[in-house]
Structure 1
Amino acid sequence: MVGDQLNQFKEKGLRELRRLFWIFAYLWVLLGLFALHKSIILNLPDPFYHQGFAVINALVLAKVIYFAEAFNVADNLKSRPLVYPITYRSAVFSLMLILFHLIEEVLAGAWHGKPITDSLATSGAGSAKEILVFGLIMFVALMPFFALREIARDIGDDRLFEQFFVRRSTYAPLQSQ
């Protein structure tokens, strides 16, 4: 009996860890590409300097998204057609990403001894237009992620994982009569 409970606990822990990993992996790729792009645009000598921030931000945001899903944040639209919860969740979490982006720039500037206003102005995060564009890019980039999360909610995480990585069942459309 105790062995069964331990196995169930271990199985659930692995399932939840896998969910957290996929959230982290998606965000890490996304934020890592942004960091690489920023390094290239600013012509920094080490293009991989900001990758550490991308990993840390991806870990933090993955935990935020994971716990937000656990506490049903932005779930008030889950019974509506998929376009509504996907759009809403993308908007909410892109705002969170903007906030973390600004915090990251301030912390990086503080590390180098710059005041807050200087670190934001020289980082590419200073103007309202630049912040808006970053938010819009994140909004669009998060849509496929939340689309998959919503589909996984409907068909199950394991089934979605199987469809992408294990096997693909054939689809037979309904015959019109």
Structure 2
Amino acid sequence: MRRIGHRIFEEAKRIIGIFAYLWVIFGLLILHEHIVLSRHGLSYSFYGLAFINAWILAKIMLVAESMDVRPHFRGRPLMIPILIRSCAFAALLVAGYAVEEIVLGLWRGETFAGSLPAIGGGGVSGLASAGVIMAVALIPYFTFREVGRVFGRERLRTLLLRGEGAAGLPPEKTAEKLREAVDGPGREP
């Protein structure tokens, strides 16, 4: 029973972390949209969308993250899984958002075509733009996850929040560990 409680607590921490990250990203995108529209005299103030979408998409991301594909990246520089995961999850999030909008539109009585969202302003270029923005926005998240996997999550958290000495590594060892994590052991920078 204690083990199950610990697992539930760890999963809750993960989904809250994903949710918080996505909420900040979506909030910034909505704020940007508000700024752009206000320049043209249009108003936009539905900030609840960031909260709702972040929560729904965090659940999707949590399930997708549990399907571990890490063995495919073993022995490769960390940049490869970071970029591939960022792009794959961006596509997943954009698709998840589209499905959510279609379902809501159908529930409101709209036709399927009428409920298709105009992601990024509509069309293929809008969809590609939204995908690129999401992929770039996810790079810090997956960088933290991958470097945390190499260093250990607690050690990375300590390093980021309290400094090198608190993490048990002298400054030169920290830089050396980071180089090894990115370039692989024994390679010159």
TM-score by length of 1: 0.75
Report the Cα offset of residue 42 of structure 1.
Answer: 4.4
Question: How far has the Cα of 1:140 moved from its partner?
Answer: 0.8
Runs of 4+ residues over 6 Å off in structure 1: none
Separation in 2, partners of 1:133, 1:113:
29
1:92 aligns with 2:91: no
TM superposition shift of 1:22:
1.1
State how many pairs are aligned.
167
Q: CA deviation at 1:129?
A: 1.0
Q: Which moved more, 1:107-116 or 1:88-97?
A: 107-116
For the residues of structure 1 that align with 2:111 and 2:33, how far apart are their CA atoms? 20
- Which residue does 2:139 correspond to in 1? 143
1:29 aligns with 2:24: yes
For residue 79 of structure 1, give the secondary structure of its aligned residue in structure 2: coil
Equivalent positions of 1:26-175 (< 5 A) are: 26-42=21-37, 45-47=43-45, 49=46, 51-73=47-69, 76-106=72-102, 115-118=111-114, 120=116, 124-165=120-161, 167-170=162-165, 171-173=170-172
Contact 2:119–2:127, Cα closer than 8 Å, also in 1: no
2:119 touches 2:130 (CA, 8 Å); kept in 1?
no
Report deviation, 1:91.
0.9
Quote how far apart the aligned CAs of 1:64 are.
2.3
Distance in 1 of aligned mates of 2:139 and 2:24: 15
Q: Percent identity?
A: 36
Is the contact between residue 15 and residue 62 of structure 2 (CA under 8 Å) also seen in structure 1? yes
Query: For residues 117 and 53 of structure 1, what CA distance do their matches in structure 2 show?
Result: 22
Letter in 1 for 2:24: V
- Secondary structure of the residue aligned to 2:130 is helix
Unaligned segments of structure 2, at least 5 residues: 177-189
Assess if the C-alpha contact under 8 Å between 1:152 and 1:160 holds in 2.
yes
| CA distance in 2: counterparts of 1:23 and 1:158, whole angstroms | 17
- Give distance in 2, aligned partners of 1:151 and 1:129: 33
* CA distance 1:109–1:71, change in 2 (3 Å): closer
- Structure-1 separation of matches of 2:131 and 2:119: 15
Aligned AA for 1:127? Answer: G
Where does the alignment leave 5 or more consecutive residues of structure 1 unmatched?
none
2:82 maps to amino acid: I
Letter in 1 for 2:73: L
Matched-pair contact (CA < 8 Å) for 2:86–2:136 = yes
Cα-Cα RMSD: 3.0
The structural deviation recorded for 1:62 is 1.7
